[in-house]
């Protein structure tokens, strides 16, 4: 072998040593450390591996599939860090008594998979047998129920990411024994919508009370809905033989966001849960007021209230300084607040837990509430201090012989500006505070 051939061989060997050294450096590991980890420290293995490509390696379909699986798994790990919930859109609204619409939008499942609906979808749930079969195939429900077969009861609308193969292309045989045939050439990503019967003791009440009982169960008791981690819940529905009686998205819909709920004794409901209860209460209150324009007691229609929310102005009687909405044992006061301070006051008022209307009288007596009446700042400044904040009595405690203080100036402002926005907020209460004049920290400077 002549000298030039030997030099070329040595050059190629040197290049191969440099390439291997560079590859080890790119991984951040020396060859010795990499071998030591592989042999003695299996605990550092993440459970993920991907093919390593190099010139001369034989490739099969399984290698590229491993690449796809690896990328999908890493993406799911990153998306799980954001938490499950709706990113945007996906609002559910009824069209008629048998059809609903799901708006375009995106969400994440608890397992880190993306649910993307690019166009509005119109759904009808008349075929109970098809829905039940789809639930079994997707692993969303395995136990059939007679109520589900009749499409009667309380259901949860789920959106689950699915995949299927389509668009056949030519298959080239890998050996002379194989015959050429078409094979699906693409994996198509889609979203399957399905109804799953909701199983909970809260639904074992008369149908007219189910919605309020479910709100108490999910927001006050914070019960786990027990739904599949592979799907995103979009709404809860009450059906009667396939006809939609009501649709309530916020009983199960959660916006994506922070799930941290505090430390030790300072634990609080996650922000997404509190906001969901506020939206659910607002929509339910609007439905109740459409049926009952006259003043009503909260306990007649509801089982729980969020820590803050809209207040039905018709329940307030300023002439007698009384309230018809809250239970009589709940300490209630009127606070007139400038409109420009309302947003900050309500935002802080969402920190306390919700109001359980089923609580004992002693618990309710320890739960002071303020009715926030919103007026322009210029009008608030014309009110004397005793009209900016004063206690409200239960309507049942008003007597004809009572002589309430004059609120003529406040009534005049309301008559001039029209019915003002009204909200309620659960107040913070310190040890030693009396029932009258209890003020939350964030409202002490209001007015």
What range defines the domain where residue 230 resides? 85-170+183-251
Last residue of a domain, one of 231, 251, 271: 251
> Could you tell me if 358 and 300 lie in one domain?
yes
Q: What is the pLDDT of residue 342?
A: 86
Higher local confidence (pLDDT), 159 or 17: 159
Name the pTM for this structure: 0.73
Mean pLDDT confidence for 127-154: 58
Residue 38 has pLDDT above 80, yes or no: no
Q: What is the pLDDT of residue 329?
A: 92
Give the whole-angstrom CA distance, residue 389 versus residue 437.
Answer: 8
**136 inside domain:** yes
Is 272 strand, coil or helix?
A: helix
Provide the number of structural domains found in the chain: 2
Q: What is the pLDDT of residue 265?
A: 43
Tokens of 87: 């990113």
Is 138 strand, coil or helix?
A: coil
User: Average pLDDT over the chain, rounded to whole?
Assistant: 79
> Could you tell me if 298 and 242 lie in one domain?
no
Q: What is the pLDDT of residue 139?
A: 58
**391 inside domain:** yes
**435 inside domain:** yes
Half-sphere exposure of 55 (CA within 13 A, CB side): 2
Give the whole-angstrom CA distance, residue 123 versus residue 94.
Answer: 10
**37 inside domain:** no
Give the whole-angstrom CA distance, residue 344 versus residue 154.
Answer: 37
> Could you tell me if 370 and 246 lie in one domain?
no
**33 inside domain:** no
Q: What is the pLDDT of residue 140?
A: 55
Residue 282 has pLDDT above 50, yes or no: yes
Residue 211 has pLDDT above 50, yes or no: yes
Q: Mind listing the pLDDT tens digit for each residue in 320-349?
A: 889 999 999 999 999 999 988 888 888 888
**125 inside domain:** yes
Q: Mind listing the pLDDT tens digit for each residue in 61-107?
A: 888 888 888 888 888 887 787 788 999 999 999 998 888 999 999 99
Q: What is the pLDDT of residue 104?
A: 93
Higher local confidence (pLDDT), 88 or 259: 88
Instruction: Give Dmax (Cα) for the chain.
Output: 125
> Could you tell me if 233 and 90 lie in one domain?
yes
Q: What contacts 248, CB < 8 A, 6 or more positions away? A: 211, 214, 235, 236, 237, 280, 283, 284
Is 246 strand, coil or helix?
A: strand
> Could you tell me if 90 and 164 lie in one domain?
yes
Q: Mind listing the pLDDT tens digit for each residue in 338-393?
A: 988 888 888 888 888 899 999 999 999 989 999 999 999 988 888 888 888 999 99
pLDDT band at 136 (very low <50, low <70, confident <90, very high): low
Percentage of the chain modeled with pLDDT above 90? 28
Contact 377, 338 (CB under 8 A): yes
Last residue of a domain, one of 220, 236, 251: 251
> Could you tell me if 247 and 298 lie in one domain?
no
Residue 438 has pLDDT above 50, yes or no: no
**256 inside domain:** no
> Could you tell me if 99 and 204 lie in one domain?
yes
**5 inside domain:** no
């Amino acid at each position: 072998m002549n000298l030039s051939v030997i030099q070329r061989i040595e050059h190629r060997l040197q290049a191969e040593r440099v390439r291997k050294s560079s590859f080890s450096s790119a991984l951040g590991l020396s060859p010795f450390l990499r071998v030591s980890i592989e042999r003695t420290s299996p605990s550092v293995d993440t459970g993920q591996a991907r093919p390593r490509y190099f010139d001369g390696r034989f490739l099969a379909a399984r290698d590229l599939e491993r690449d796809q699986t690896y990328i999908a798994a890493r993406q799911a790990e990153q998306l799980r860090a954001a938490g499950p919930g709706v990113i945007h859109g996906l609002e559910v609204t009824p069209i008629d008594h048998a059809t609903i619409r799901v708006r375009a939008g995106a969400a994440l499942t608890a397992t880190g998979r993306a649910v993307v609906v690019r166009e509005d979808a119109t759904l009808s749930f008349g075929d109970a047998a098809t829905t039940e079969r789809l639930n079994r195939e997707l692993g969303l429900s395995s136990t059939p129920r007679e109520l589900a077969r009749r499409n009667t009861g309380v259901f949860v609308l789920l959106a689950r990411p699915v995949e299927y193969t389509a668009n056949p292309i030519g298959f080239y045989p890998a050996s002379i024994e194989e015959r050429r045939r078409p094979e699906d050439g693409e994996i198509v990503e889609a979203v399957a919508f399905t109804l799953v019967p909701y199983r909970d003791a809260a639904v074992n009440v008369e149908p007219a009370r189910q919605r309020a009982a479910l709100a108490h169960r999910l927001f006050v008791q914070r019960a786990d809905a027990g739904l599949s981690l592979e799907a995103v819940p979009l709404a809860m529905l009450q059906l009667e033989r396939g006809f939609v009686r009501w649709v309530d998205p916020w009983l199960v819909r959660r916006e994506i966001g922070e799930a941290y709920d505090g430390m030790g004794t300072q634990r609080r409901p996650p922000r997404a849960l509190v906001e969901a209860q506020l939206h659910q209460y607002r929509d339910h209150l609007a439905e109740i007021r459409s049926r009952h324009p006259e003043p009503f007691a909260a306990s007649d229609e509801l089982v729980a209230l969020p820590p803050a929310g809209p207040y039905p102005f018709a329940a307030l009687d300023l002439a007698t300084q009384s309230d018809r909405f809250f239970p009589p044992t709940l300490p209630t006061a009127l606070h007139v607040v400038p409109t420009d301070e309302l947003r900050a006051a309500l935002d802080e008022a969402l920190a306390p837990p919700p109001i359980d209307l089923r609580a004992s009288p002693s618990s309710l007596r320890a739960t002071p509430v303020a009715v926030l009446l919103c007026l322009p700042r210029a009008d608030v400044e014309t009110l004397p201090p005793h009209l900016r904040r004063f206690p409200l009595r239960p309507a049942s405690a008003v007597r004809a012989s009572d002589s309430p203080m004059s609120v003529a100036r406040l009534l005049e402002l309301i008559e001039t500006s029209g019915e003002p926005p009204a909200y309620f907020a659960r107040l913070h209460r310190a040890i030693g505070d009396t029932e009258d004049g209890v003020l939350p920290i964030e409202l002490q400077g209001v007015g």
